Structure 1
Amino acid sequence: MREDITTGGCLCGAIRFTIAGPFEHFFLCHCSRCRKATGSAHAATLFSNTARLDWLSGRELVRTFQLPGTRYQKSFCSHCGSPVPNLRRNGGQIVVPAGSLETVPILRPEAHICFSDRAGWEEAAETAPRIDGLPGGRP
């Protein structure tokens, strides 16, 4: 039986990792914390309680921010600021920002969570024009 291997890394390439095993959940979170942490409409996050996270390079560059008084935490590259996986529940759960992956996960988003907390401008984004590339055809 083949073990699922997912690969990923940060924007600058200093951090590289693999995840061996399946993801159990894939959520799009619209809470204000996730919006602030991503600078976007939502965080796209995968979760696994059974997979193994292996750092191939750059483990020493990973920093983790824990929001005081909450369960919220985010790990990121100290060079480029890109979000990277983190471990929760004393290492029993891997939390992976979907945008950090280079392998397309088999699991698809299963729910928009904290949807009532979504950004006021998000609905307008659904009808915005779709442009392949940058506006005005710039490279």
Structure 2
Amino acid sequence: MSETTLNGSCLCGAVKFQVRGEPQRFYHCHCQRCRKASGTGHASNLFLSNATLNFSQGETLLKRYKVPEAQRFARQFCSECGCAVARFVPELAAVLIPAGTLDDDAPIQPQARIFWDSRADWSCAGDDLPRYATYPA
């Protein structure tokens, strides 16, 4: 996949970011942590490899929370509005972008629903995306 540049921002507009990299994965995650972090039935996350993440505005407003017992679950967000924003994931050597924060169109479409077996029974399911109990192989 070729390199792309994506711009995004938080809900209040105080934090603005730019990611350059190769789009690899776009998943709807139904795990309990993603549901709690998003307040919805799933989180939609885009992953870019060989990526750089730069904040052009509001970097001092960023806060980060990592679930202590989680291997890689963390959340980076604007301290003004609470909106999740892009973050570097060292364990994956990738940048994760909460897809809803993009100001540009996503370069790829969602590819799968992950942690499907732990979804809320009311969560959306009306598409033909592959479904995985955990991470795809």
What letter is aligned with 2:24? E
Alignment correspondent of 2:24: 24
Question: How many residues get paired?
Answer: 124
Pick the structure with more helix per residue.
1
| More moved, 46-55 vs 97-106 | 46-55
Scaled by the length of structure 1, the TM-score of the pair is 0.83
The 5 Å alignment of 1:27-106 reads 27-70=27-70, 71-89=72-90, 92-106=93-107
Q: What's the TM-score once normalised by structure 2's chain length?
A: 0.84
Unaligned 5+ segments in structure 2 are 127-137
Distance 1:9 1:22 in 2: 20
Q: Name the SS of the counterpart of 2:23 in structure 1.
A: coil
Q: CA deviation at 1:99?
A: 0.6
Q: Bigger radius of gyration, 1 or 2?
A: 1
User: What amino acid is the match of 1:10?
Assistant: C
Task: Could you tell me which runs of 5 or more consecutive residues in structure 1 were left unpaired when the two chains were aligned.
Answer: 127-139
Work out the percentage of aligned pairs sharing the same amino acid.
37
TM superposition outliers: structure 1 runs of 4+ over 6 Å = none
- Whichever structure has more strand as a proportion of its residues is 2
**Aligned-residue CA RMSD (Å):** 1.8
